[in-house]
């Protein structure tokens, strides 16, 4: 797969990748305001995903009620990372614990400073929109964690003294993924938010990348962020029920101990080495 090709390379690659039968759709009809009409019509013919959602184990369908000792965690904990700062220069960490209606302990973790981005409204645009203007950047280049975003704590456990939880990098794009169509892999493997076709990328044609429609040989234009997120980095996890994000594989893990109103320990996954973290209950 070729990626991020120049305009000149697009022409040459069109011969090499798509072959003599290939033809690029009229870009005048596909790029611009509302310019996904032709591409959308082509993608509409691609096979949809038929893979059912995974079945949760019986013990995973009903989380245990919050232990009495976990009541000590309820509320907001604020703190900092030791000798580490995010892009804004902030070292802040905020973890908020609440009790769910079913009695389980739930939490969110936010890092750095700033506000969480507004929900996505257009699945054909990069997200967050103010970070990804058309034609620039890819999901992999965005710093993790995204400052101000409230990551959902996964694999949360507390034994009265030791607290452990994880956060998933791709959760930032979970709502964006729900705006995508779930396509078949055509090979029995995992589904995706683009058809499993060959493709190539360009930074010079209005931020467009291309998929090769195997039925017609046409190069179908796709926004490069969508191409990168769906075909290159597999940000979304898709089934017959639609697309979301796999929340079962945390990319970072917090491991701390509760002592006299303080949580002290470390977090791993932001750098190659664990970072010391200190939190105190209260704003």
Q: What is the pLDDT of residue 215?
A: 85
More confident residue, 233 or 57: 233
- Where are the strands (E) in the chain, listed by range? 23-24, 75-81, 92-99, 105-111, 151-152, 154-158, 162-167, 199-201, 208-212, 218-223, 237-239, 242-244, 252-259, 262-268, 275-281
Q: Looking at residues 112-137, what average pLDDT do you find?
A: 81
Q: Which of 135, 95, 128, 120 is nearest to 180 (CA)?
A: 120
pLDDT confidence of 89, banded at 50, 70, 90? Answer: very high
pLDDT confidence of 43, banded at 50, 70, 90? Answer: confident
Q: What is the pLDDT of residue 205?
A: 52
Q: What is the pLDDT of residue 76?
A: 97
**Angstrom distance (rounded) from CA 266 to CA 264:** 7
**Angstrom distance (rounded) from CA 150 to CA 147:** 9
C-alpha dist (Å) from residue 271 to 23, 88, 114, 277 = 45, 17, 21, 13
Per-residue burial over 241-271, b = 16 or more CB atoms within 10 Å of its CB, e = otherwise? ebbbbbbeebbbbbebebeeeebebebbbbe
Q: What is the pLDDT of residue 216?
A: 85
pLDDT tens digit sequence for 240-260: 999 999 999 999 999 999 998
The token pair at 24 is 């690029």
Q: Are 229 and 127 in contact (CB under 8 A)?
A: no
The percentage of residues in the chain with a pLDDT greater than 70, rounded to a whole number, is 75
At the topology level, CATH places domain 58-176+246-281 in Lipocalin (2.40.128)
**Angstrom distance (rounded) from CA 83 to CA 69:** 31
**Angstrom distance (rounded) from CA 48 to CA 192:** 9
Q: Are 84 and 271 in contact (CB under 8 A)?
A: yes
pLDDT confidence of 102, banded at 50, 70, 90? Answer: confident
Q: What is the pLDDT of residue 38?
A: 60
pLDDT tens digit sequence for 173-231: 999 999 999 999 766 678 999 998 888 765 555 567 888 888 888 888 888 889 889 98
């Amino acid at each position: 797969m070729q990626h991020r090709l120049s305009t000149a390379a697009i022409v040459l690659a069109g011969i090499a990748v798509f072959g003599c039968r290939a033809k690029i759709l009229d870009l005048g009809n596909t790029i611009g305001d509302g310019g996904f009409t032709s591409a959308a019509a082509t993608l509409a013919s691609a096979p949809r995903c038929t893979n059912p959602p995974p079945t949760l184990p019986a013990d995973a369908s009903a989380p245990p009620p919050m232990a009495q000792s976990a009541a000590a965690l309820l509320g907001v904990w604020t703190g900092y990372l030791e000798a580490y700062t995010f892009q804004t220069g902030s070292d802040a960490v905020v973890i908020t614990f609440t009790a769910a209606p079913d009695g389980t302990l739930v939490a969110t973790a936010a890092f750095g400073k700033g506000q969480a981005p507004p929900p996505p409204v257009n699945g054909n645009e990069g997200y967050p929109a103010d970070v990804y203007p058309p034609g620039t950047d890819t999901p992999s280049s965005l710093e993790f964690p995204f400052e101000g975003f409230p990551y959902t704590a996964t694999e949360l456990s507390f034994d009265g003294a030791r607290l452990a939880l994880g956060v998933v990098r791709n959760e930032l794009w979970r709502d964006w993924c729900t705006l995508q169509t779930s396509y078949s892999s055509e090979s029995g493997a995992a589904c995706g938010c683009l058809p499993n076709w060959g493709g190539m990328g360009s930074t010079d044609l209005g931020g467009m990348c291309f998929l090769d429609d195997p039925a017609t040989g046409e190069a179908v234009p796709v926004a490069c962020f969508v191409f990168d997120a769906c075909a290159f980095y597999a940000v979304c996890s898709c089934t017959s029920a639609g697309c979301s994000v796999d929340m079962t594989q945390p990319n970072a893990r917090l491991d701390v101990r509760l002592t006299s109103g303080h949580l002290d320990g470390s977090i791993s996954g932001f750098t190659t080495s664990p970072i010391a973290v200190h939190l105190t209950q209260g704003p």
